[in-house]
Structure formats: structure tokens, C-alpha cells
Amino acid sequence: MDIRPLTPAYAVSPQINPEDLPAIAAAGYTTVINNRPDEENPPSHQNEAMKKAAKDAGITLVTLPVSHATLTLETVAAQKEAIAASTGPVLAYCASGNRCTIVWALGQAGQIETDEIVQIAANNGYNLNQLRGQLDMLAQQG
């Protein structure tokens, strides 16, 4: 596992395995958000398998597949709601953690300065410089 905490309450990761979920629970995460569409994964890592493994580990699994077509403000709002509803820290995963970071960043626009959002992402290996304009626009829309 390669867990990268963006904040004390939200971390991202590249693809996790079903057998990782007990260790994720032991690390204190109470919610896992699956931002990876099923068609990107073999059956062993698709949503139903992950949902069963999460349940067995005592973790809430939220499924919010993110792709170019589904990366909308509604998806951003749904991710923010899932984070807010969690009883503890949240771990979101996708193929590399980049999509999870982008969804988080868009949700933070206007709450955290754009430079800080981009720096937090960079500190964790994600380059969001291309989103600066969009983050600034969302921050102005408030």
C-alpha cells in the first residue's frame, strides 16, 4: 500500500487490494472511497469484491467511479459528502491516486488557497498545476 495523507482526515492511494482492508482499518481509516470504475479492474478488484472485503474489515466503502466523463461538480460534491459523513479518516483510491487528489482539490477550492492545494498535492507526488485556473474560478464562485 502507498497511502498518501493530504490532510489528517483524507488520504489517497493507488489501487489497493481486498486483503489490504484489514490493515487500512487498523491504521484508523473508517471509510474507503473507490474512485476507480469497475471496467479498469479484474473481477478480484471490482466494486463487489471490494465491498465484501470492506464489510469484513468493518470499513464503510463508498463507490464513486471517476473518469473523464464522470468528473463533474456533482461527483466533487458527492465525494465531499462522503468525507463529511465519515466517522473517521477517509482513504480514497484509484489507479494512481491522481483522480482522488483532483476530486479532493476541486472540493477544496475556495476553502483552501489554490497555491496550498497545489502544494499539498505536489508534496504527495501529484502535479495539479494544470488545475490552477479551474481552482481559482471555483474559489471565486464560492
Model confidence pLDDT, tens digit, residues 118-130: 999 999 999 999 9
pLDDT at 1: 84
Query: Cα dist. 75→40, 46, 71 in Å?
Result: 18, 19, 6
pLDDT of 81 > 80? The answer is yes
Confidence of residue 68 (pLDDT cuts 50, 70, 90): confident
For residue 96, the one-letter residue type is S
What are the pLDDT digits (tens) for 4-58? Answer: 999 999 999 999 999 999 999 999 999 999 999 999 988 888 999 999 999 999 9
As a whole-number percent, the residues of the chain with pLDDT over 70 amount to 100
Q: What is the pTM of this model?
A: 0.94
Q: Burial, 21: exposed, middle or buried (Cβ in 10 Å; 0-12, 13-18, 19+)?
A: buried
CATH architecture for segment(s) 4-141: Alpha-Beta Complex (3.90)
Query: What is the average pLDDT across 87-98?
Result: 96
Helices in the chain by DSSP H: which ranges? 21-26, 47-57, 73-85, 98-108, 114-123, 132-141
